[in-house]
Structure 1
Amino acid sequence: MAGVRNLESLILTRHGESTGNLAHQAARDAPGDRIEEVDLCDRDADVPLSERGRLQAVALGRRLAALPPSERPTAVVSSPYVRSLDTARIALAELQDPPDLLVDERLRDREMGVLYRLTPHGVRVRYPEEAERSRRLGKFYYRPPGGESWADMLLRLRSAYLDIDLDHPGGRVLVVVHDAVVVLTRYIVEGLSERELMEIERTPIGNCSFTRWVRRDGVLRPAEYNDTAHLSEPAGAPAPTAAP
């Protein structure tokens, strides 16, 4: 990873299942214009974990606790969003001597701007010009009004990882984030092309999945990717995917 030369390993996990995930699933099953849910927060940052998501976070913590001492995280950094912070706190409670939990707002989920809580159908109905612009530009470069493209996210993620690397030389850092951040981190670490990224993105990132890069021969190399084997109830999550 360019600019990240000091970490011994980097572990990423997506937050546990959230009430927002459930609302998105319900919207896919019964298409409408908006993702409607009584408990879905007005701010994306405030969306909490579901009960299943909390159980997934416990399972993640037990996987971390089962690692050899030489592989356990020495630092933990989380997105400031509630679903990520709670995942981190629940998981760390399973460790005997957990490291401090740090928060970095640059690790937040993608900002969707005016399209927040709209279904794909809703975007086509309410903002047909944006739907066409998104189709033409593609996910990597399309920026919704008031929101971010994936390229925009990469700018802040590169900055965040540079600081994480400088702050934790020789460290093993766990980062608790969102599905897009996991995919884009792979783009950064492995130097992927846009085409390769879009192919990888076709497989959803499982809630509380385990992705890790380990330094070998002076370079962070993939060890696990999107592994959900530690979850006792992985229904709806993708099968573990071996790192290339």
Structure 2
Amino acid sequence: MGATELVLVRHGESMGNVAAAAAHAAGAEVIQVGARDADVPLSPTGVTQAEAFGRWLAAVPADETPQSVWCSPYVRAVQTAQTALATAGLELPFRIDERLRDRELGVLDLLTTLGVERRFPEEAVRRRWLGKFYHRPPGGESWADMALRLRSLLRDLDDDEDGRRVLVVAHDALILTVRYVCERMGEADVLGIAATTSVANASVTRLARPSGTGAWTLMSFNEADHVRASGAPVTSHPGDSDVLPVHPA
């Protein structure tokens, strides 16, 4: 037996998201954040989005409310979870796990697409050739690497959360990779989603399996109506655009 429901939530908009958007708009090579990735906080919009998710949580029927929280250690995710729980008036067991951290980009960290092309042109070619799932930047991770750590995490989650509903607060790539593992997808399946859909900040994705065993069923994906209803903008801030492998003719 194991967990019966996963409520997957991407953190609210971060100051890193804002800085990345500004760098791309300005044609810059480097994203100016001023903090290591793990320490980047929410933007004011991100706080509003986290509060909107908290109101969503408060409105969930008691027999559907998450019974515990597993959270990325990154500040933006912890802030999202804590803000939402405070807004909802919920006190739940709260666990931080480093395996829920965002994808590590190694030498490409803080570089825009233009920055990668100019500073690491051979790596840009390799990224296009391999596609997002298997490309591992020097010192960083591929999506396949994330899947390995998530398989380990999900085994522990099942052991500790038998028969329970779990809220998982993490990052956009993590949410898609959890879907990849739980729904037993292939590379083409998950990259097809990534190529057409950006996971919105503070959006909700739900996976369920009432028996607590076997494959999961997707109940909802990337729902952000609660953010719209709050009057906050729905933001997504997708990552690099090199999703599918591109092989020269």
TM-score normalised according to structure 2 size: 0.89
Q: Is contact 1:77–1:175 with CA below 8 Å preserved after alignment?
A: yes
Task: Check if 1:162 corresponds to 2:155.
Answer: yes
Q: Which runs of 5+ in 2 are unaligned?
A: 237-249
Q: Is the 8 A contact 2:4 2:208 kept in 1?
A: yes
Q: Distance in 1 between matches of 2:57 and 2:116?
A: 40
Partners of 1:96 and 1:34 lie apart in 2 by 40
Match of 1:241 in 2: none
Q: 1:84 aligns with which of 77, 81, 85?
A: 77
The sequence identity of aligned pairs, in percent, is 49
Cα deviation digits, residues 18-66 of structure 1 (max 9, x gap)? 0011111112211121112xxx233100000001101111110111111
**Structure 2 residue 131 is the aligned partner of structure 1 residue 133:** no
Of the three residues 53, 58, 73, the one matched with 1:60 is 53
> Structure 1: how far apart are the matches of 2:98 and 2:172?
16
1:82-136 alpha-carbon deviations (Å, 9 max, x no partner) = 0000100001112334212110000000000111110111111101111111111
1:208 aligns with 2:202: yes
Match of 1:104 in 2: 97
Conservation of the 8 A alpha-carbon contact between 1:16 and 1:56: yes
Higher fraction of helix: 2
- Number of the residue aligned with 1:227: 223
Distance 1:207 1:43 in 2: 20
Residue correspondences, number: 231
TM-score by length of 1: 0.91
Deviation at 1:10, TM superposition (A): 0.6
Whole-angstrom distance in 2 between the partners of 1:139 and 1:96 = 39
Q: Structure 1 residues 97, 139: CA separation in 2 closer, same or farther (over 3 Å shift)?
A: closer
Gaps of 5+ in 1: 239-244
